[in-house]
Chains A and B, each alone.
Chain A
């Protein structure tokens, strides 16, 4: 079995666990989910799958950066993206260690330090990609158009963020829990600004390998943003029974990250 097939197997496994989680959310802890696919087993499987996918995504992003020349303007954004994914992988490694031992996902945990550190790097890398791709001479929109899109998204995100975050803040919790429940969705709203602009940049490339890679990466961002928002809401509401949906959202997101970075790595391979 080639390394490529092993990676594909990981992705299929992760998606299979996602399907199991959807089934768990719909059915509840009954039948097979009570006897065999217990919450403890599923959280361990999901934890390992997430960790493997994030490591893969980090390795691919790092390899892409490494293959680009030192003065290639795309190298720095790829390094930042690799660091962000590395941060997520470290965070997941900590979280998975708890999950493997106790079968539970503690919140907050030391892993949150790495997850939180990853977001500014991800945001910075996306802004770097926008500037680099725009300046490469392709008809992907002017700086003015991108600024306009970013401003519009920022305003919309701000309008949506207030009603979403208000009850999260009001729900309270420990200072660290409160900080993280606000920080994750806030980072997501900020992340939306370069993400939507990158969709504008990537869209004209549809049908080609560049678009396929970016569609996967940006799809991953959408999934983790959804996961973060659901996490903040479910934490606030105390809806533990909906946790499987969170795991599913992150699994899909990380599969997309691993796939997208792999596809882009293939682009720069000789």
Chain B
């Protein structure tokens, strides 16, 4: 679980794509994050911790064909940490 409460979806996307862009390119990072995000049934522009976890897991598994599972898992961990910081921000 990356956070305890709901987070703004746009902020989550910004954090995740910032980390994915060097590998996937910015437009693909945004497109793939949004493609997975659309399947999460987001309401009121906020995502629950479970939805964030599902999003990060999906993005990580897709990355594995390019970078291998080990590095994909490391990137997913970075994404979780970055999103967790959003939750702890005042």
Contacts and interface: CB of A to CB of B under 8 A. Distances in A.
B3 interface: no
Interface stretch (A20-28, A35-43, A202-210, A242-250): A202-210
B70 interface: yes
Interface string B52-78: 000000100110111111110010000
What does DSSP make chain A's interface, helix, strand, loop or mixed? loop
B68 A67 contact: yes
B66 A204 contact: no
What does DSSP make chain B's interface, helix, strand, loop or mixed? helix
A101 interface: no
A48 interface: no
B71 to A, nearest CB: 6
Among A67, A74, A207, the one with the most B-chain Cβ atoms within 10 Å of its Cβ is A207
A207 B32 contact: no
B32 A208 contact: no
Interface in A32-87: 67-69, 72-74
Nearest to A214: B66
Contact of A267 (B21, B67, B69, B74): B67
Given A207-B27, A267-B23, A137 B62 contact: yes
B26 interface: yes
B21 A208 contact: yes
Interface residues of A, number: 24
Interface string B23-39: 11111110110011000
A206 B26 CA distance: 8
Among B24, B32, B66, B71, the one with the most A-chain Cβ atoms within 10 Å of its Cβ is B66
Contacts of A136: 62, 64-66
B68 A68 contact: yes
A267 B65 contact: no
Interface in A65-113: 67-69, 72-74
